Structure 1
């Protein structure tokens, strides 16, 4: 069922109407088929690019939509309610553009940003490594300056869009100075010496490839250094704050889809001569699911509005990511319960929603890490 939204402008209202049309007519009918086939929907991203969705929160000067984050996140929610692979993919792409948009020089932005957010290219964010997931400062992939380029060697892990992205926003070590030795490079996917490993075999989001990346003396021009040497961890963590809001919005979209499915099923399913939605046990379960969805939506909107106002929002981003993704896991699990045996089959999308929800509690910083970050904010307050 469509969510009634309070939007800041008529332009935003029109954008959400277009989003719903695309989600309903183009994405939802194809989602189950492509997820079962483990097929990446590049055509869906081309459609989003043509519609101006790949640069929504970025400036019009470089081809973006100049939309408030509050609006962009609601677009993500709508897309995710139809197809999580697409919603998460847009969130990852947006985060991959963030370092250049906020830390790049004016010349770099003019040169590369229009292509990155203009609709043709798809990005990936290369931070995690086999032994550096939650501990981002422990990166070992190295970028050694040699004349007018960096020679990059090492491996990255768990890269969304690995092997299909057009560019990678890479965090690599340029010195041994601990957290201050990490730098950010914008890497063209066609760079010699860069390759992707086979996709991981995942329990959910099977339409979205997640692969390792390998750098074997890959030469990246020095002009593709974003910010200054040693600024990479600061850039990465800043991007993650915004990215966590994106994942929170995706989680709410998934939870809303599961709630809608459960309510529709409970209205139609008859037991003991009446719809099961009339039984108090189901009524209370559905009420709790609805409360979780509404509460989670409020957390990401709070973080987005603070971001749009130029206020600190790191704590709110962690809260939103924690609350929304835990809610998605519970709501999708309860949706399977509402459907009973039918929920455990692939005849209904409830089981897919449940499988997709799990990873939301893991990436962009596990929910255990979010609790730690929230506690640190409280210690400093």
Structure 2
């Protein structure tokens, strides 16, 4: 008999990719997708799954304690994978309340329901609560500092990262206090299919295709480690299958790039696509490549955001040594796959654009 998974935030970017990955690779398991369908939650991300009898969708908020517990009981959930989160740093600066509510209060609601479902009354049902977090809880790195490791001191610098740090601590506390069988993963920046267009890579792709400016904070020197979303899903899969209960695993892509170099690479790859495929000029006439110009001409340097962390990097040595994890995609190959997806899925991203 297969497992029964509850995936929160399942209509979001990483959650949806995880659901697709899990159902492809574990056809014997049942998956309940749970999502409040806020601005970044999109049911279209789960297209193609509704006909599968082992898939079901629950439209609800993780802060709804009763609905969470009802869902756990109704579907006899034994594995909870928690992606649901407010995650855009800029939004956390202008409106931190939603981040406190979803990332802290929502995580606590899930933990309370999980404890009631799996442990109340002396029960000892086999279970796992996996919490998906971020490298941003560790703060910012200098240019020559080693990557973040699992014993790293927490130094969050934005309301977003502070709320995720708090949720990490709650998960740890429910393991040590109540015996909840938990694991946590902290990942670097993800990219790939279904990525909401407010984030750097999909924003640049969709703006190039529309001939819109490509905003770059400051001088573009901020550095991030980039992880193709399917590689992230594989890492979580390994933690669920073989990871040690109560432990944390950092999942990285071994791909450090500064923001300006990423934008340059995207521009150059998109220009090359227009040269190789003349039909793109007809479909996207406002793109620089449609008239032989360079997408780099769209780059616009803007005022740096408040409290902008300079560098993130993940040391993924533990998950590699203990669980055999290695990313399958380099940044160049992952970016090519991402470009392919956005060029082929305009009906998905076009309705999501603000203007």
| TM-score bucket of the superposed structures, by smaller chain | 0.3 to 0.5
State the TM-score, normalizing by the size of structure 2.
Answer: 0.36
State the TM-score, normalizing by the size of structure 1.
Answer: 0.34
More helix by share: 1
